[in-house]
Chains A and B, each alone.
Chain A
């Protein structure tokens, strides 16, 4: 790890002014030596990984932990919920309003990483962490996402990689929370040094590789992700999240699924949202699965049909076709779990 300076601003605008460079840009600008860049640090979990691997060698880290107000969870207008970006995953998972209104989110977050990491990692950092592709994470592989001219995963070891939209880069989005947040139609709040505020939908904030192969989102330099806003969920909406890793302790998902169903009292589905995580470079909406549910009474058969439909458009790689039956199962089970 390189030596670096440490800055602790007290306001968003100070921090945004200092943050010259996105982590993604810092990683591609000078892969061989310490740079002159300044990057933001939230919990620091992902940043530390990247720095220890010398994939990222920032001159200065701007610590966001001393800025007041970024770590609060409070009700917003019209039944919405405001989640500060510096809220830790542990706080998020245990917050009464989150558990009560968005149980699928509490479930997803409570199963992320390890207890130690959840105590430090933040919601904002979780959404902005870089992908876990093992070629991307090793300095020796100068891959497409780091400005190289070659994807090592597609002809190589791709058992943990994407089954949808996996060319030219086969990463999966690393955030499990994002699977549920996209399903919940969450918005992110971004503020720059001048105080300009952007509030894109999370789904629009994320970008697939064919949009930008080196960035997973459209965060701009000098911009800070300050909050995630969750819209109110009608009482008729039921939700579930399922995650399956090879291990249950401290492991990334092989597959995770978030399902939201708006049901009539006799379980007729008025609308459905099915989002697959660890499936594609961004959280993947299984539109065919949603279509298979709408207007139907949710039962075992319909859930199974939707599970199969969720695989529409999949393009598995040489070592990851096993994810197809896995997703089929998780979608089917998540639908039944949501429908209760």
Chain B
């Protein structure tokens, strides 16, 4: 590498490899102003240790403030009038009565008639108008006073219907959305309601299938899963003459600031975005959202702060969802298991939105020389999809990982053994080994072997996800004159505990305890942090935090060297003191060093440098590390073949995330990913009435989310995978923990009953039908 000659770099030796397999070393070129390599976790005090969540007590005692808890003086309550029809044109709208309501301070029309770009509503729940009033009751009364004249238009809800040439059109070419924030290609053809295909190809697929000894082929379907964050979407917008402050439940303070500045033509310096308590986002709170724009618009017009918090019904209809998919997979293989060709065709619907693809599982999980895919988006008159924990790959894995199990059976190979043959990842190999041992894979019986109606089975599935990094990530570390320490960044804690992790990383540098480090995050007045989506928060913000702390430490060591009359390069920070490495008696307290500071505080701001060996891919602010994230999950299920009830008794999740920084918090995230996967596999389903276009279960009563009695025992193991890539060498965990769960359950159900369930969710209705137990026609006698 030409970088070897670069005088801004130095060579360092890092631990490398998977700890449970055996570590080696790797040489990396490291920027001179970045800290030396960390040893493996075993040799560290706080990094890699199960440090308790800093704000855990505040969360469970209600001390933490979520957006709905924020009350500003003079604050108004915003409510949104939403379309009752799935497809309609607004012909007239009269807000005068609402404006005259004594409690109302502002009313805005969101879908003005006359312009087809704004007047056409395409899903039940689409925003029509909004009010801000002195109380929630007044706001609701005012909504009822808005008179709207709708011209109903033909609509289509079902994806299969929407694909037909005769289907009512959701969009025409002029109105159809072109791009997608997640980066879908924008120049794809639109035929009827179908946009695509987006294609990938390598090798010669026709030849590949011709060479195959065995070909498996099947269709899979996944349902719409709505976002059910515990904390609904919401914000308080405070528009003032000197600038805009927005308190919002968000996964990306810095991104929302950009959106606000652009939408409202404000300089970034006059926009502040703040989040404290955050009750989950899962991909649905990465952007400002229509409700955010509405609240700011109402605040600007009313000249007062406005709070909008969506109701659960609004959450279900218009806060994003995981798109439904249909996948056709064809896989060819030789007798020895080696893959010769994979072909994937998919159609998915994100309602009026885009982004309903099935990801890169089929493309990238296994070694196969010949591959082709054609993925299509289908528009329907339903609320827009959004990113959701492992977008694309979660539905994609449901199809692909069942297809691989089908292939294994056709080849008379054990599913784990087949994957050992075709999966190039050393991480997943180790994860399969560990998981198989823990679940008792060797005791697995043949499909449907249990006698009697209650049948048990075990199955496994794998995950693939990019190691994402936001290079536009910065962190400031301050040491104050009393020896106290602050970490500042706009990065947000969406419930994962990243603040605690930052405290661990910084405490390790200073030789302090994590509880000595004060975390100030979730505020764009601090250096810009990364978004918390794409499993990138820890990978992006912990390296700059360690680097910034290390730079501040160098300043303190220089002061201490003078005070101790020792060379600076023999000084270390340990146990709250600065000491000569081999002579602990020659030392002074960290606090005493800080007391000698010339100013009240010293600080350093560091940014996320590139991974030391370079990224595999870099585009704008986003980059991907060389190695993907793996993850293998095993599930044990019990199926009652007379009631159709499936219960997951146990999940063994073996995951990797580079260097694990806090096993307790990682375990918590993996448990969440597994529970979300169980819920996706067995329960959740957005049900829309085909005749009215209305969601019939827009609540948490009939939209069924896994409960405590359906929660399996979850056994989490996390590999230590050292790569020598950054100042912390850490990557994310959130999404890979969710991707493999549903297919692992489906493969376990097959092992239990010998019948494959190729669509989600696996309800009693679906299971009994698959078992051939549901009579056709009626039973009148």
Q: Is B71 an interface position by the 8 A CB rule?
A: no
Instruction: Tell me, rounded to whole Å, the shortest Cβ–Cβ distance linking A251 to chain B.
Output: 7
A319 to B247, CA, bound (A): 44
A157 adjacent to B696 (CB under 8 Å):
yes
* 1/0 contact string of B644-685 vs chain A (CB within 8 Å): 110000000000000000000000000000000000001100
B702 adjacent to A140 (CB under 8 Å):
no
B 694-710 contacts with A by CB, 8 A: 694, 696-697, 702, 704, 706-710
A159 to B766, CA, bound (A): 11
Q: Is B764 an interface position by the 8 A CB rule?
A: yes
Chain A residues whose C-beta falls within 8 Å of the C-beta of B137 in the assembled complex: 1, 3
A319 to B763, CA, bound (A): 12
* 1/0 contact string of A319-330 vs chain B (CB within 8 Å): 111101110111
B696 adjacent to A138 (CB under 8 Å):
yes
A138 adjacent to B704 (CB under 8 Å):
no
A 315-340 contacts with B by CB, 8 A: 315-316, 319-322, 324-326, 328-330
In chain B, what residue has the closest Cβ to A150? B691
Chain A residues whose C-beta falls within 8 Å of the C-beta of B645 in the assembled complex: 244, 246
A152 adjacent to B765 (CB under 8 Å):
no
* 1/0 contact string of B440-462 vs chain A (CB within 8 Å): 00000000000000000000000
A155 to B692, CA, bound (A): 11
Chain B residues whose C-beta falls within 8 Å of the C-beta of A69 in the assembled complex: none
Inter-chain contact count A-B, CB under 8 Å?
A: 101
* 1/0 contact string of A296-332 vs chain B (CB within 8 Å): 0000000000000001111110011110111011100
Which residue of the partner chain, among B643, B687, B709, B778, contacts A326 with CB atoms under 8 Å?
Answer: B643
Chain B residues whose C-beta falls within 8 Å of the C-beta of A247 in the assembled complex: 683, 704, 706-707, 709-710
Q: Is A96 an interface position by the 8 A CB rule?
A: no
In chain A, what residue has the closest Cβ to B710? A247
A138 adjacent to B709 (CB under 8 Å):
no
Assess A160 versus B689: contact at CB under 8 Å? Given A3-B137, A244-B643: no
A246 to B689, CA, bound (A): 20
B764 adjacent to A254 (CB under 8 Å):
yes
- For chain A, the count of residues having a C-beta within 8 Å of the partner chain is 38
Chain B residues whose C-beta falls within 8 Å of the C-beta of A311 in the assembled complex: 779
Chain B residues whose C-beta falls within 8 Å of the C-beta of A155 in the assembled complex: 691
Q: Is A210 an interface position by the 8 A CB rule?
A: no
A321 adjacent to B781 (CB under 8 Å):
no
- For chain B, the count of residues having a C-beta within 8 Å of the partner chain is 36
B 766-781 contacts with A by CB, 8 A: 768-769, 773-776, 778-781
A152 adjacent to B692 (CB under 8 Å):
yes
A325 adjacent to B773 (CB under 8 Å):
yes
Chain A residues whose C-beta falls within 8 Å of the C-beta of B683 in the assembled complex: 246-247
Q: Is A156 an interface position by the 8 A CB rule?
A: yes
In chain B, what residue has the closest Cβ to A32? B144
A330 to B696, CA, bound (A): 27
Q: Is B642 an interface position by the 8 A CB rule?
A: yes
Q: Is A48 an interface position by the 8 A CB rule?
A: no
Chain B residues whose C-beta falls within 8 Å of the C-beta of A326 in the assembled complex: 643-644, 764, 768
Most buried by A among B643, B644, B682, B709: B643
Q: Is B31 an interface position by the 8 A CB rule?
A: no
Q: Is B84 an interface position by the 8 A CB rule?
A: yes
Q: Is B690 an interface position by the 8 A CB rule?
A: yes
Which residue of the partner chain, among A248, A250, A324, contacts B774 with CB atoms under 8 Å?
Answer: A324
B776 adjacent to A329 (CB under 8 Å):
no
A322 adjacent to B702 (CB under 8 Å):
no
Which residue of the partner chain, among B642, B682, B687, contacts A325 with CB atoms under 8 Å?
Answer: B642
Assess A250 versus B707: contact at CB under 8 Å? Given A135-B696, A155-B691: yes
B779 adjacent to A316 (CB under 8 Å):
yes
A155 to B645, CA, bound (A): 26
Chain A residues whose C-beta falls within 8 Å of the C-beta of B773 in the assembled complex: 322, 325
In chain B, what residue has the closest Cβ to A317? B778
A314 to B642, CA, bound (A): 18
Assess A314 versus B709: contact at CB under 8 Å? Given A322-B768, A329-B643: no
Q: Is A218 an interface position by the 8 A CB rule?
A: no
Chain A residues whose C-beta falls within 8 Å of the C-beta of B690 in the assembled complex: 156
Instruction: Tell me, rounded to whole Å, the shortest Cβ–Cβ distance linking A8 to chain B.
Output: 23
Assess A152 versus B691: contact at CB under 8 Å? Given A246-B683, A247-B709, A325-B774: yes
23 contacts between A and B (CB under 8 A): A1-B137, A134-B696, A156-B690, A156-B696, A157-B687, A157-B689, A159-B765, A244-B645, A246-B764, A249-B709, A312-B779, A314-B779, A315-B779, A315-B780, A320-B765, A321-B775, A322-B773, A324-B774, A324-B775, A324-B779, A325-B768, A329-B643, A330-B643
B: residues with CB less than 8 A from A are 84, 137, 642-645, 682-683, 687, 689-692, 694, 696-697, 702, 704, 706-710, 763-765, 768-769, 773-776, 778-781
Closest 10 A-B residue pairs measured CB to CB? Answer: A249-B707, A248-B709, A249-B709, A322-B765, A329-B642, A314-B779, A134-B696, A325-B773, A322-B768, A156-B689
